[in-house]
Amino acid sequence: MPSYLVTGANRGIGLGISKELLKSPENFVVAAVRNLNSESIKELQSQYSQDRFAVIKIDYSDYSSIEKAAEEAAKILPNGLDYLISNAGISLQESASFETIDLKVFEEELRVNTIAPVEVIRSFLPLVRKGTAKKIALVTTIISSLGLAPNMATLAISYGATKAALNMLARKWGAVLYQEGITTVTVHPGWVDTDLGSTIKDYWAQHKPDLKPITVQQSAEDTLRVIKDAKLEENIRLYNHTGAELPW
């Protein structure tokens, strides 16, 4: 039974990925959430038995919760973890300019989007090593691309920078993890109709009026396909949800 751990699983893309995975009876899903009492999580708990679905608490703003979560997950997953999907993320000042970026807010974005995933990967690494698929997926964004940055110069500057740093960590660490047979995947899930995705609606309405967000379900299906298709390689790539490669 392949096992998946998805962070930020209570809403948006993380919830979509969890629901998509649960459609297949052979998957075991661990939903990692900040709030164990989320309505969406309670609903999944009422739908799926404990031999298909488990919930653990993880807060990317509180690093100590991450190690505890990994200890708890180890009890739930005696055969290890096949797929670690670090999806939780925040974008809090997408329209701020260089002159108006709030540095405290930038720090919080950095904490959640960049630093916490390091702790997530290293805390869950023993479990991934024990698993069969040995895949670590990081949900990043096209806005993190240095190559494409001039085309989106004013969009989500601090958020883009935190995800670009995440990409760097993935590319460096992935090349090391490759040596022990662990695949690292960085994936842009598309522009998706979620709380986070809706914060950039005005930007796209102004800059590319024909562009429309994709549904959570579409994003979940695409993102999972990219994660499954990713091959073990030393050269870690940045994938669009379509499977196409994006420039770093």
| Residue from 138, 143, 140, 180 nearest 158 by CA | 143
Q: Which stretch binds ligand NDP (CB under 6 A): 5-13, 43-51, 128-136, 174-182?
A: 5-13
Cβ 206 to ligand NDP shortest distance, Å: 16
Among 17, 70, 112, 125, binds ligand NDP (CB under 6 A): 112
Cβ 106 to ligand NDP shortest distance, Å: 15
Of 134 and 188, CB closest to ligand NDP: 188
| Residue from 133, 227, 136 nearest 175 by CA | 136
Among 88, 220, 236, 246, binds ligand NDP (CB under 6 A): 88
For position 155 contacting ligand NDP by CB under 6 A, the verdict is no
Of 80 and 89, CB closest to ligand NDP: 89
For position 237 contacting ligand NDP by CB under 6 A, the verdict is no
For position 141 contacting ligand NDP by CB under 6 A, the verdict is yes
DSSP for the chain, written as a single string: --EEEEESTTSHHHHHHHHHHHTSTT-EEEEEES-TT-HHHHHHHHHS-TTTEEEEE--TT-HHHHHHHHHHHHHH-TT--SEEEE-------TT--TTT--HHHHHHHHIIIIIHHHHHHHHHHHHHHHSSS-EEEEE--GGG-TTTGGGGTTSSHHHHHHHHHHHHHHHHHHHHHGGGT-EEEEEE--SBSSHHHHTTHHHHHHH-TT--PBPHHHHHHHHHHHHHHPPP-SS--EEETTS-EE--
For position 59 contacting ligand NDP by CB under 6 A, the verdict is yes
Q: Which stretch binds ligand NDP (CB under 6 A): 19-27, 56-64, 68-76, 171-179?
A: 56-64
The structure tokens listed for 69 are 């979560």
Cβ 73 to ligand NDP shortest distance, Å: 15
Q: Which stretch binds ligand NDP (CB under 6 A): 66-74, 145-153, 178-186, 194-202?
A: 194-202
For position 173 contacting ligand NDP by CB under 6 A, the verdict is no
For position 242 contacting ligand NDP by CB under 6 A, the verdict is no
What is the distance between the alpha carbons of residues 142 and 152, in angstroms, rounded to a whole number?
Answer: 10
For position 8 contacting ligand NDP by CB under 6 A, the verdict is yes
Of 141 and 158, CB closest to ligand NDP: 141
Interface residues toward ligand NDP, by CB under 6 A = 8, 10-14, 34-35, 58-61, 87-90, 112, 139, 141, 188-189, 191-192, 194-197
